[in-house]
Amino acid sequence: MVDVIGGPSLPQERKLVTSIPGPKSQEIIARKNAAVAAGVGAALPISVVAGGDGVLVDVDGNSLIDLGSGIAVTGVGNSAPRVVEAVQKQVAQFTHTCFTVTPYEGYIAVAEKLNELTPGDFEKRSALFNSGAEAVENAIKIARHYTKKNGVVVFDHAYHGRTNLTMGMTAKNIPYKDGFGPFAPEVYRVPTSYPFRDGLTGAEAAEVALTQIEKQVGASNLAAIIIEPIQGEGGFIAPAEGFLPALQEWATANGVVFILDEVQSGFARTGQMFAAEHEGVTPDLVTTAKGIAGGLPLSAVTGRAEIMDSAHAGGLGGTYTGSPIACAAALATIETYQADNLLARAARIQEIIEEVFGALQQSDDRIGDIRGRGAMMAIELVESGSKKPNATLTSAVAKAAADQGVLVLTCGTYGNVIRFLPALTISEELLRDGLQVVVDAIAAN
Ligand SMILES: *Cc1c(COP(=O)(O)O)cnc(C)c1O
User: Can you tell me the distance from the alpha carbon of 176 to that of 13, in angstroms, rounded to the nearest whole number?
Assistant: 35
Over the stretch 94-141, which tens digit does the pLDDT of each residue have?
A: 999 999 999 999 999 999 999 999 999 999 999 999 999 999 999 999
Mean pLDDT of 388-408: 98
pLDDT of res. 1: 44
Mutate to test the pocket of ligand 1, among 73, 160, 419 (most ligand atoms within 8 A of CB): 160
Ligand 1 center to residue 263 CA distance, Å? 6
pLDDT at residue 4, as a whole number: 79
> Which residue among 226, 263, 265, 320 has the greatest number of ligand 1 atoms within 8 angstroms of its CB, and so is best to mutate?
263
For residues 258 and 248, is the Cβ–Cβ distance under 8 A?
A: yes
Q: Report the distance separating Cα 242 and Cα 422, nearest Å.
A: 28
Ligand 1 atom nearest the C-alpha of 289 is 7
CA 360/CA 398 separation, integer angstroms? 17
* DSSP collapsed to 3 states, 130-195: CCHHHHHHHHHHHHHHHHCCCEEEEECCCCCCCCHHHHHHCCCCCCCCCCCCCCCCCEEEECCCCH
C-alpha of residue 296 to centroid of ligand 1, in Å: 14
Residues with CB under 6 A from ligand 1: 131-133, 136, 159-161, 228, 232-233, 261, 263-264, 289
CATH of 23-79+341-444, one of 3.90.1150.10, 3.40.50.150, 3.60.15.10, 3.30.470.10: 3.90.1150.10
User: Going by DSSP bridges, is the β-strand pair 222-227/48-52 parallel, antiparallel, or unpaired?
Assistant: unpaired
Provide the pLDDT for residue 198. Answer: 97
Mutate to test the pocket of ligand 1, among 131, 290, 409 (most ligand atoms within 8 A of CB): 290
Residue type, 17: V
Query: What dotted CATH number matches 83-339?
Result: 3.40.640.10
What SS3 string covers 95-112?
A: CCCCCCCCCCHHHHHHHH
- Using the atom order of ligand 1, give the atom closest to the CA of residue 162: 9
Mutate to test the pocket of ligand 1, among 264, 288, 417, 421 (most ligand atoms within 8 A of CB): 264
pLDDT reported for residue 58: 98
Distance CA 173, CA 179 (A): 9
How many angstroms is it from 11 CA to the middle of ligand 1?
31
Which residue spans within 297-365 are E strands per DSSP? 299-304
Atom of ligand 1 nearest to the CA of 158: 13
Q: What confidence tens digit (pLDDT) does each residue in 213-226 have? A: 999 999 999 999 99
d(CA 38, CA 44): 15
CA distance 58 to 30: 15
What is residue 6's predicted lDDT score, i.e. its pLDDT?
93
Give distance in angstroms: CA of 421 to centre of ligand 1. Answer: 15
Tell how far CA 73 is from the center of its chain.
Answer: 7
> What is the C-alpha separation between 72 and 363, in angstroms, rounded?
30
Q: Bin 410: left if φ > 0, else alpha if -120 < ψ < 50, else beta.
A: beta
- Spacing, Cα 146 to ligand 1 middle (Å): 24
Question: What are the beta bridge partners of residue 367?
Answer: 381
Q: What is the pLDDT of residues 45-74, one digit of tens each?
A: 999 999 999 999 999 999 999 999 999 999
Q: Per the confidence metrics, is the pTM higher than 0.95?
A: yes
Render 261-309 in DSSP notation, one character per residue.
E-TTTTTTTTSSSSTHHHHT---SEEEE-GGGSTTS--EEEEEEHHHHT
Atom in ligand 1 nearest the alpha carbon of residue 132? 5
Amino acid found at 51: G
Res 2 pLDDT > 70: no
CA distance readout (Å), 43 to 64, 70, 269, 319 = 14, 10, 22, 31
Q: Where are the domains of the chain?
A: 23-79+341-444, 83-339
Cβ burial 35-50 (10 Å sphere, 16+ → b, else e): eeeeeeeeebbbbbbb
Q: How far is the CA of 132 from the centre of ligand 1 (A)?
A: 4
Averaged pLDDT for residues 339-366: 98
Percent residues over pLDDT 90 in the chain: 98
Is the distance from CB of 124 to CB of 308 less than 8 angstroms?
Answer: yes
